[in-house]
Structure 1
Amino acid sequence: MNGDDSEAEFLANNPFQGHAQFETSVIEMKLFRAIKDIDACKRAPQRICGDLAVWRHGNRAAFEELYPIFEANWTFGGGGLGELTPLGMSQMNDLGRMFRRIYVEEQQFLSQKYVAKEIYVASTNSNRTIISAMSLLYGLFPPGAWNLPGVDYPINPNWQPGFTFVPIHPDDHTTCVAGLPCSCARFNELQEKGAELPEVQTTMAKMLAMNSRIAVLYNITADPNALWTFPDAWKMQRVWFNETLYRELPFYSEQLYREVLTTFKPFKQMMGGTFENSSQIDKIDISHETMVIQSGSFLNELYNRAQEKANCIRAGKNCTGYLKPLKFYGYSSHDLVLYTLLVPLGLSDLVTSLDGWPDTAAALTIEMYSNPGGQFFVKLLYRDNSLEDFNDVTGRVCNGTVYCRLEDFEKVVRMVEPLPDFQTKGIARPNRT
């Protein structure tokens, strides 16, 4: 029964109806409800005012050679190991078109064409993430009549009509910036300490056993541990060379492939702080500290950007910096980076891939909303692979609410905020896929 039905039943069945005191109570009740409705309307988000997006790059070549597929076979994207493939470009272009449908066409938030002050896209400094960002932006701002010759692109018969470039800002590999998990002294200590956990020991034993099993099948006896990268090689090879795998590897099968990836899955998820059992050892919470190191910096950067935008809007005319016109801030990144963001948000179970990390072209967006009352909210949307649409996961992060108050989102991210301690400064980078 809704509120109106409940009130109607109360009025119809109350034996004191007609008495002056009762009529006064009814008026007071209706007045209270009217004030409450006005207040709710004032608090309700009215318009989108900003968007932060993090995505994993598209499909790529394998990182390592593994018989029967070698580097010479990977001719995509300029050729070479780890490069973005045409499928990956298409996946990212589709994601860009999805962003265009949502933010340009449906919400009319972003301009039809690229406006420099409205959008900023950062990327890790690797070919696959940079070209992924380019492919996405080609979908977000495609060639069209909205781009004017001589204004948005040159008047030149050799130039594709309507085509414009959108800049990508790569990070600096010499520093460990927010947005990239950092290998640091404390993280290395946590891994060493975590190795004492029964869950970690069991997982490692299963991985070593699988490595030895596959090494025998490949007739590798000198150094079975050299095969640590074979799950990644298979995962990428099967997209482009599946028939070759079945023809050249008598032992290869779909069942074995799935068994391999699920065997390595728990270890990969532990890298983001996901454990099935308690990770407490010697008064150290391995899971929590891992989240702080792996995602704390980036997650808090996302919140801080949202807070800065909110402060700018509140300041009105007094806000004159780059934040005022900025609407969309995107990060082109990797599966581990995206996964580590999901863990402290309580969303890691949404990952459905066999190996436990988000699939190609997966993405997380944090939309900002404001209302006339000067309040700010966020909505979190996630898609797990290139075939899915976005799903609203705000309620999962923020106690079932449709819109999460910015202050409540802050409480979530501050739980993994790293302390300004020199030991947590990055000194090296881990492998990322």
Structure 2
Amino acid sequence: MTLRILLLLLLVVYFGDVFGQKVVRDGDMELSLVHVVWRHGDRSPIVTFNSDPFQEDYWKFGGGGWGQLSPLGMKQHLNLGKLLRNRYVDIQNSTYSLLPAVYSSKAIYVRSTDLNRTLISATANLLGMYGQNEYGSIGGFDYPEVEGWPKGFIPMPIHTVDYDTDYIGNMDCDCPRRTWLWNMVKQSDFIQSWLQLPNVSYVLNTTRALINQNAELEDFWVVPDALYIEQIHYNETLRQLNTWYSDEFYDQMTVVNDQIYLFQYGVFDGQKIEMQNMDMGRELLKIRAGSLMNDISDRIALKSSCQYINSSSKHCKWINELKYYTYSAHDETIYSVLVALGIQEYTIKPHGYPLYAAAVIIEFWRNTTSNSDYFKVLYHAQDGDGINVFTSNIPGCSSDYCSIDVLNNVSMYLKPDKPMTEWCTVVDNNNNQSIISYFITVVFVVLVQYCLN
């Protein structure tokens, strides 16, 4: 076995087909780095409404309980991993042989939000991308060759941070400023007028009566989300136990819910809402998408600087070797990227939100003739679909390759004014400060007059 390993390693060194640096070209364009943001696979509901007959005891898969990845969800990400391998890994039928045939810890970095469903989705995805027996990994070298260990399976690290303070991957992290902005927007004339539309008020009022609870706008998603999952796993039983359910009313709920999604991300049917001297659309999207967009653009900028300007710097070694960075996250994470780039209407209709195992891909390319940087945006809508290019739909872009300046401008426009740990605590208290200042002034004047008298 030792001799076999040595021979294989010699072949690797000779041909450079595993750990060697790849040069991927499309004419004058050279691919340098790929970012992927994907949604987890199919899961049980995160929570449900009061009158739902399918409470937590119904959900047994994935360890049981709310929000757990199902075997279907695992399969969806296994398939996505294989699809990504076909595009990026050094194999015969790949589109761009950017990545080595066997997993390299220097070329690949995987980050996940700290939830079971995203962590397991990442594991399933990597299993499809690098964990199969026919992928060229070596027993005893890449994984233990012992009874019980799946042949070809290489454990790969998945990095995470605390869920409540994951400002990059978790759009619902703890952030008082986001709540404050949204509560203000809900009181705007625009939203109040929308709420009075006959179809909207009918759906909201009827739903609240049927579920026996007063769901706020930001919580309305719970109902169509639970019903969507129940159609997948309990379709016939759903129609028997939930007597008010109908496909027609479900469709009406999803239309309203999709609109609420847009409002939460600062999209107001082309209108600009200004409150307290702020562009509320920008502020809402900044607090949701700003960290992620800047994380991506900053990494691309560093890659460009190190690879093409200052490649000999010792600080550049890690980024020069990095080829593939992925975020295992949620529908809202993908949604934030699509809305930030202005392509949500092209990528996710008619569904209104990213489906299970959806993925948005941002590729970084370099024009080796003009020494200019470009990016390409692609989207995988759901399991079974391919990967399609949407760069030309981005405002300011006219072809599949777009100047990196467009991406940088979006990121700068949405860049939080302070580090998120501070920015999330910033809520407007000018009115309170004015009242306090006025009170202090009055007290001071009274005291002065008292002393003078």
TM-score bracket for the superposition, by shorter chain length: 0.7 to 0.9
Matched, 1:177 2:172: no
Counterpart secondary structure, 1:378: strand
Query: What corresponds to 1:295 in structure 2?
Result: 289
Counterpart secondary structure, 2:319: coil
Query: What corresponds to 1:62 in structure 2?
Result: 45
Counterpart secondary structure, 2:361: strand
- C-alpha distance in 1 between matches for 2:193 and 2:70: 36
Query: What corresponds to 1:186 in structure 2?
Result: 177
Query: What corresponds to 1:408 in structure 2?
Result: 406
Indicate how the Cα distance of structure 1 residues 208 and 424 shifts in structure 2: closer, same or farther if over 3 A, else same. farther
- C-alpha distance in 2 between matches for 1:351 and 1:408: 19
How far has the Cα of 1:163 moved from its partner?
Answer: 1.4
Indicate how the Cα distance of structure 1 residues 79 and 354 shifts in structure 2: closer, same or farther if over 3 A, else same. farther
Deviations 1:232-262 (A, max 9, x none): 2111111100100111223221111111111
- C-alpha distance in 2 between matches for 1:285 and 1:381: 29
How far has the Cα of 1:54 moved from its partner?
Answer: 0.4
Which structure has more RCO (C-alpha within 8 Å, separation ≥ 6)? 1
Counterpart secondary structure, 1:420: coil
- C-alpha distance in 1 between matches for 2:340 and 2:290: 9
Counterpart secondary structure, 1:322: helix
Which residues in structure 2 correspond to 1:17-416 (within 5 Å)?
Answer: 45-65=28-48, 67-104=52-89, 105=91, 106=94, 107-145=96-134, 146-173=136-163, 175-181=165-171, 182-204=173-195, 209-217=202-210, 220=212, 223-225=213-215, 228=220, 229-282=222-275, 283-314=277-308, 315-319=310-314, 320-352=316-348, 356-373=352-369, 374-397=371-394, 398-416=396-414
How far has the Cα of 1:275 moved from its partner?
Answer: 1.1
Indicate how the Cα distance of structure 1 residues 317 and 70 shifts in structure 2: closer, same or farther if over 3 A, else same. same
Asked whether the equivalents of residues 177 and 423 of structure 2 are also in contact (C-alpha less than 8 Å), the reply is no
Counterpart secondary structure, 2:37: strand
Query: What corresponds to 1:16 in structure 2?
Result: none
- C-alpha distance in 2 between matches for 1:421 and 1:167: 27
- C-alpha distance in 2 between matches for 1:424 and 1:267: 27
Indicate how the Cα distance of structure 1 residues 86 and 129 shifts in structure 2: closer, same or farther if over 3 A, else same. same
Asked whether the equivalents of residues 362 and 383 of structure 1 are also in contact (C-alpha less than 8 Å), the reply is yes
How far has the Cα of 1:174 moved from its partner?
Answer: 5.4
Residue range with higher mean Cα deviation, 170-179 or 408-417:
170-179
How far has the Cα of 1:279 moved from its partner?
Answer: 3.1
TM-score of the pair, normalised by structure 1: 0.82
TM-score of the pair, normalised by structure 2: 0.78
How far has the Cα of 1:404 moved from its partner?
Answer: 1.6
The Cα RMSD (Å) is 2.6
Query: What corresponds to 1:15 in structure 2?
Result: none
- C-alpha distance in 1 between matches for 2:226 and 2:341: 30
Give the aligned residue type for 2:192: Q
Asked whether the equivalents of residues 178 and 424 of structure 2 are also in contact (C-alpha less than 8 Å), the reply is no
Structure 2 residue ranges without an equivalent (≥5): 1-24, 427-453
Query: What corresponds to 2:6 in structure 1?
Result: none
Asked whether the equivalents of residues 350 and 384 of structure 1 are also in contact (C-alpha less than 8 Å), the reply is no
Indicate how the Cα distance of structure 1 residues 289 and 317 shifts in structure 2: closer, same or farther if over 3 A, else same. same
How far has the Cα of 1:231 moved from its partner?
Answer: 1.9
How far has the Cα of 1:348 moved from its partner?
Answer: 1.4
Give the aligned residue type for 2:403: R
Indicate how the Cα distance of structure 1 residues 423 and 267 shifts in structure 2: closer, same or farther if over 3 A, else same. same
